[in-house]
Amino acid sequence: MEEFDITIIGSGPGGYVAAIKSAQLGYKTALVEKYSTLGGTCTNVGCIPTKALLDSTHHYADAVKSFQNHGIEFSDIRLNFEQVFKRKSDVVTKNTQGLDFLMRKNKIKVLQGSGSFLNSESLKISHADQTETVIKSKKFIIATGSKPATIPGVTIDKKRIITSTEALAMKEKPESIVIIGGGVIGVEMASIFNRIGTKVTILEYADNLIANMDQELGSTLAKILTKEGVEIKRQEAVYKAENHGDKAKVYFKNKQGLEQELTADYILVAVGRKPYVIGLGLENTNVELNANGTIKVDDLLQTTASNIFAIGDVIGGAMLAHKAEEEAVFVVERIHGQKSHIDYDHIPSVVYTWPEVASIGATEEELKKRGLEYNVGKFPFAVNARARAGMETDGFVKVLSDPKYGELLGVHIIGARAADLIAQSVTGLEFEITAKDMASICYAHPTYSEVLKEAYTIASGEASVNI
């Protein structure tokens, strides 16, 4: 029976980062993965393939709608649906091959199969060929992630009632699709399919899209998606979905209780994700679960079994790949005796629609609820020279700051390159830099980042020179 210092179960962003960090610090490391490729949901059926499709469909939509404004003309523009999805698969393959290389480079033992605890020190790995391997480990890190969730009355059959996983593997373009849920996954999927000519309808239970972010971001995104042809129905309670063979039907009620129904080629369920702990054998350890099915951990991400830790989606919180990566490094460095820390308020959220949406820190709604005073600095992309040059004038930056000391409380962006711009604001919040100081540094001209500079300036109580 082989013994390891640290064994990680699950090879998603949290798992593979934990494995690499463990090996780099000199620990004999094993990585257990039930599927045939490394990378977990993010690399195989989540973040990476979704972004590949978002980029491809963005190029196509630009060619159809805006290239002529740039003086670029085509006699014929057509979508090669098969190539779009082939490129997505090629991107995934290159990423998984890169992970294989990193495992070999760092001398990490990869064990392909489903891991199940025999006790707190031993793990059984059941392989695809029906054989089994048992290993021992001084420490374990559970990084098994999450799976798509659903709602009562809606059974995912993976044929007509699908999740994002099946949507990422379609063989032909659907004519229509209804998306249940207007969160991050829902609006990104809506963007992909709307751009290629699919009739897209979003059914959202809340009164706003991306409801966990600043409300003004969600309302602005809704206006932009509506302008692009996405039908958005808010405050709709879905209670049933049916597979009718070549079509699917969804039933829902509006806030007045009026029953409605829609028929489409597919019903895509995007109502969030749930932690994946099935088959882990946690009952053979002292690991406890919370009422919502997540693994119970303390501030050090240690479970109720002293040698077992857990990270990522399986412990709840924001289900973000970069959160899992931060937790991976945190846990391994803590095991190693280092004094690492994580500030969950300083982990950015990003939506990869176009324009992109990005957020860090407190929203206006949260500050109002807490009874805190704040300054608002808001600046539109429409006034920015670089945005005008690139025909990317939708959106704004909103900076929230403390009126007494000027400390940044939150930054919210909807606009071109928001996903990249937010990194600067993360620095500002992490190191408690004031809005005035953030405004006082030099920004290259012309760039989208100047929208941030102007928003910081206004939040600090000074007048913008560009309005």
Active site residues: 445
- What CA–CA distance (Å, rounded) separates 191 from 185? 10
CA atoms within 13 A on the CB side of 409: 25
Structure tokens of 416?
Answer: 């071109």
Spatial CA neighbour of 37 closest among 89, 85, 77, 2: 89
The type of residue at 314 is V
Cis peptide before 446 (omega within 30 of 0): yes
**Crossing angle between the packed helical segments 321-335 and 13-24, to the nearest 10 degrees:** 30
Sheet holding 396-401, edge to edge: 349-351, 356-361, 408-415, 396-401, 375-380
- What CA–CA distance (Å, rounded) separates 110 from 122? 16
The type of residue at 63 is A
Structure tokens of 390?
Answer: 């690139």
- Long-range CB pairs of 83-90 (<8 Å, 24+ gap) are 84/53, 84/56, 84/57, 84/60, 84/196, 85/53, 85/169, 85/170, 85/171, 87/52, 87/56, 88/49, 88/52, 88/53, 88/56, 88/168, 89/49
Write out the DSSP string of 216-254: HHHHHHHHHHHHTT-EEEES-EEEEEEE-SS-EEEEEE-
- What CA–CA distance (Å, rounded) separates 6 from 388? 52
- What CA–CA distance (Å, rounded) separates 38 from 108? 13
The type of residue at 448 is Y
Structure tokens of 40?
Answer: 């977990």
**Residue 132: partners with Cβ closer than 8 Å, 6 or more residues away:** 113, 124, 125, 126
